[in-house]
């Protein structure tokens, strides 16, 4: 069973702080990694994707990938109340099936 694990939280940070969201995955052959944000009652929307080891930055968001440790994270700098949502880690499980497996999500609350 190929799995994606996330801390379910909730994670609570003050406004302006750095929020750190973590994800581990079991399939060493995975090549593509995604972070989705889902507001309550809404559909998941892509925040970032990362394919290579290291960091990838986009505005206040940084994705970090370490394939050797099978670990991917998302950092949100200068957190805003509007960042309060559930963050879903998704990993492409390859080997021919080409499907995304989602973690159970981490609920983030940014307190004003």
Partner 1 sequence: DTAVSQTPKYLVTQMGNDKSIKCEQNLGHDTMYWYKQDSKKFLKIMFSYNNKELIINETVPNRFSPKSPDKAHLNLHINSLELGDSAVYFCASSQVGGGETQYFGPGTRLLVL
Rounded to a whole number of angstroms, the minimum distance from the CB of residue 21 to partner 1 is: 15
* CA gap 13, 66 in Å, rounded: 25
With respect to partner 1, which residue has the nearer C-beta, 25 or 34? 34
Instruction: State the maximum Cα–Cα separation within the chain, in Å, rounded to a whole number.
Output: 46
Report how many residues bind partner 1 under the rule CB under 8 A: 23
Q: Is residue 22 near partner 1 by the rule CB under 8 A?
A: no
Q: Which of residues 40-99 bind partner 1 (CB under 8 A)?
A: 42-46, 49, 86, 88, 92-94, 97-99
The window from 12-20, 39-47, 64-72, 74-82 that contacts partner 1 (CB under 8 A) reads: 39-47
Rounded to a whole number of angstroms, the minimum distance from the CB of residue 16 to partner 1 is: 27
């Amino acid at each position: 069973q190929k799995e994606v694990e996330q801390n379910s939280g909730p994670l609570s940070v003050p406004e302006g702080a750095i929020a750190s969201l973590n994800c581990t995955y079991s399939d060493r052959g995975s090549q593509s990694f995604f972070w989705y944000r889902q507001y309550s009652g809404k559909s998941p929307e892509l925040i970032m994707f990362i394919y290579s080891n290291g960091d990838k930055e986009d505005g206040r968001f940084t994705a970090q990938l370490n394939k050797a440790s099978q670990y991917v994270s998302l950092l949100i700098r200068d957190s805003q109340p509007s960042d309060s949502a559930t963050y879903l880690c998704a990993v492409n499980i390859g080997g021919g099936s080409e499907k995304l497996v989602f973690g159970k999500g981490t609920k983030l609350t940014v307190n004003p």
